[in-house]
C-alpha cells in the first residue's frame, strides 16, 4: 500500500535572494536562462550535477544541464535531488517529513513511497531543520518545475556521510527512465580567478574519471558527487562536462571567485 503524503509544505527560504521572489519574474528568469542554451542533441541523461548559487552567478551553468531535460518533459516522473547542508549539521542523509516543497512557481509533491523506502536505511534520518533554510536543493526546483511536466521529488540534504552511504541511497531509488538523479554542488570557493580555474579544472577531471575522493575544499557537494561517482562506476555511466565557469566569468569580480560546473551522466 502506498503511504499517503505527510502533511505540510516546506516554503521557499531564498526566494527574492538567490532568485526572483515572484512567479512572473522567476518564470521569465528561468526561461531566459534555458533559452540561452542550444537545443540538446537528443541523448537522455540519467544524472546531472549542477551548481546552486544565486542565479546571477551560476544560473547559466545550471541551465546548461537542465536544458537537456526538454525532450524528457513527459518521461521523468521522479527527481532524486541531493545537496550538501550549509546551515544545520546532520549525520547521514536527511529527508523531510513534509508532503510538499514550494517555490513561487507552485508546490512539488514529495515522493512519500520513496521516502518510506529510505527511512529503512541506517544512514537516512528525518530532519526538517536540515531542509528549512537550505538553498542547495531549493535553487534547482524552479528549473525542474519549468522543464518537467509532472514529477515527484525526493529531497536529500547530505551531511556527515560516506560515498558508500550516498551511493546506497541512489541505488535504492535508481529506477528506470522515469527517475532522474540530480547532485547539487559548487566548486572552489573564494580563490583568485587564475588559481580557481586551475583547482576547478582538476576537480572536473576527477568527476570525469569518476573519482570518489573529491574533498570539500574542492566542492561543497563533495559527498553527493562522490556517491554518484560510485554508483556511476557500478552501472557504467559516462560523464560529460557541459559547462565550467566561475563567478568572475558571470557576475562577480576576479579577486575571490566561486567555481561552477555542470555535468551529465549517460547510461551506456
Average pLDDT of span 144-155: 98
Give the tens place of pLDDT for each residue, 84-105: 999 999 999 999 999 999 999 9
Q: How many CB atoms lie within 10 A of CB 23?
A: 14
pLDDT band at 3 (very low <50, low <70, confident <90, very high): very low
Q: 86 near 136, Cβ under 8 Å?
A: yes
Domains located in the chain, CATH noted: 38-256 (3.40.830.10)
What predicted TM-score, i.e. pTM, was given to this entire model? 0.95
Exposure string (b/e) for 140-178, b if CB count within 10 Å is 16 or more?
bbbbbbbbbeebbbbbbbbbebebebbbbbbeebeeeee
Whether 217 shows a pLDDT value over 50: the answer reads yes
pLDDT band at 2 (very low <50, low <70, confident <90, very high): very low
Give the tens place of pLDDT for each residue, 114-138: 999 999 999 999 999 999 999 999 9
Lowest mean pLDDT among 4-8, 144-148, 199-203: 4-8
Q: What is the reported pLDDT for 7?
A: 63
Tell me how far apart the terminal alpha carbons of the chain are, to the nearest angstrom.
34
Cell of 35: 533559452
DSSP state string for 20-51: -SSHHHHHHHHHHHHHTSPPP-S---SEEEE-
Percent of the chain scoring above 90 in pLDDT? 94
C-alpha span between 217 and 238 (Å, rounded): 25
C-alpha span between 259 and 52 (Å, rounded): 11
10 Å CB burial of residue 19 (0-12, 13-18, 19+) is buried
Give the tens place of pLDDT for each residue, 161-211: 999 999 999 999 999 999 999 999 999 999 999 999 999 999 999 999 999
Max CA pair span of the chain: 56
Helix (H, G, I), strand (E, B) or coil at 160: strand
Average pLDDT of span 238-266: 97
Whether 49 shows a pLDDT value over 70: the answer reads yes
Cell of 223: 559527498
pLDDT band at 1 (very low <50, low <70, confident <90, very high): very low
Whether 4 shows a pLDDT value over 50: the answer reads no
Relative orientation angle of helices 112-119 and 163-172, to the nearest 10 degrees: 140
Residue in the structure block whose three cell numbers are 519574474 = 25
| Strand segments (E) across the chain | 9-10, 47-50, 78-84, 93-95, 100-103, 106-109, 124-126, 152-158, 179-184, 189-191, 238-246, 257-266
Q: 185 near 52, Cβ under 8 Å?
A: yes
Average pLDDT of span 26-53: 93
The secondary structure of residue 98, as a DSSP letter, is S
C-alpha span between 120 and 117 (Å, rounded): 6
Amino acid at each position: 500500500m502506498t503511504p499517503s503524503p505527510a502533511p505540510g509544505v516546506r516554503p521557499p527560504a531564498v526566494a527574492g535572494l538567490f532568485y526572483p521572489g515572484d512567479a512572473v519574474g522567476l518564470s521569465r528568469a528561468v526561461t531566459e536562462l534555458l533559452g540561452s542554451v542550444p537545443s540538446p542533441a537528443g541523448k537522455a541523461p540519467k544524472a546531472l550535477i549542477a551548481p546552486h548559487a544565486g542565479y546571477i552567478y551560476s544560473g547559466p551553468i545550471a541551465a546548461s544541464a537542465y536544458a537537456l531535460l526538454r525532450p524528457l518533459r513527459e518521461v521523468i516522473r521522479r527527481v532524486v535531488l541531493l545537496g550538501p547542508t550549509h546551515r544545520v549539521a546532520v549525520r547521514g542523509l536527511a529527508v523531510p517529513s513534509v508532503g510538499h516543497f514550494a517555490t513561487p512557481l507552485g508546490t512539488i509533491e514529495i515522493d512519500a513511497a520513496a521516502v518510506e523506502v529510505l527511512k529503512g536505511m541506517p544512514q537516512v534520518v528525518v530532519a526538517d531543520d536540515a531542509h528549512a533554510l537550505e538553498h542547495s536543493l531549493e535553487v534547482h526546483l524552479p528549473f525542474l518545475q519549468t522543464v518537467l511536466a509532472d514529477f515527484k521529488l525526493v529531497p536529500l540534504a547530505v551531511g556527515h556521510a560516506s560515498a558508500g552511504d550516498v551511493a546506497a541511497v541512489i541505488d535504492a531509488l535508481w529506477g528506470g527512465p522515469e527517475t532522474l538523479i540530480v547532485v547539487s554542488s559548487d566548486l572552489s570557493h573564494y580563490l583568485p580567478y587564475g588559481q580557481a580555474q586551475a583547482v576547478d579544472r582538476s576537480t572536473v577531471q576527477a568527476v570525469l574519471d569518476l573519482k570518489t575522493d573529491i574533498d570539500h575544499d574542492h566542492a561543497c557537494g563533495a559527498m553527493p558527487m562522490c556517491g554518484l561517482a560510485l554508483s556511476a562506476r557500478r552501472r557504467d555511466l559516462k560523464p560529460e562536462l557541459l559547462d565550467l565557469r566561475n563567478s568572475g566569468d558571470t557576475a562577480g569580480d576576479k579577486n575571490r571567485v566561486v567555481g561552477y560546473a555542470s555535468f551529465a551522466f549517460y547510461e551506456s
